[in-house]
Chain A
């Protein structure tokens, strides 16, 4: 699926990285624990998380993750936004739970890692 299709499917609002909406994503990982995200060895995945802070962006930078969905209506502050823009990431805010977002995207054909 393209990032644009992903955002539409989950009723998400793209906060930054609009120029990358046509990029295709095949795998996703849901976690609020950044050490678990750092264990993922596949690149170009979608991260679904309820953790909205600078370490979410830093962790994604180290893990080469370029697209993050923030669940449960977590809001992105300007500090997070600016670090994400610096790293060329797509950030999506979404009102749904991690469970619902994961279920919707799994049904739509996005693959799990494990």
Chain B
């Protein structure tokens, strides 16, 4: 099964609507609750990142019997130093993002903790691509 969503950069009031929709889909598909929670938390953090930093983004969800793959492709400034961005506490967030309750440099580490495989590639000045894979059976990790 495949799903596709759009994220508008800077649209703070809608940040989280994609994760919310995916949460409902996973409930309908009877995905294990703990697995579903990891997926939606990782997706929500990633969605907030796109809203906070990029101009726009596309979320593609691909579910098979074994795993769920989320691919988020954004058009934005990109990440010049990915290892640095992965460090807990490192943030380039604006005051507006901090007012939302984010921007403490924990997003990427929260994402990493909540998926089984994380791949991030980025072209500074063009955009970022995030792939998150989560196995659907809790013991498949």
Contact = CB atoms under 8 A, between A and B. Distances in A.
Partners in one complex: yes
Interface in B23-78: 23, 37, 40-41, 44-45, 48
B110 A35 contact: yes
A81 interface: no
B82 interface: no
Interface stretch (B94-102, B116-124, B129-137): B94-102
Interface of A: 32-39, 51, 53-56, 58-59, 61-64, 79
Nearest to B38: A41
Given A35-B106, A35-B107, A38-B44, A61 B101 contact: no
B104 interface: yes
Contacts of B101: 32-35, 37, 51, 53, 55-56, 59
Contact of A54 (B16, B23, B110, B113): B16
Contacts of A64: 37
Nearest to B34: A41
B79 interface: no
B102 A55 contact: yes
A58 B16 contact: yes
B104 A38 contact: no
B115 interface: no
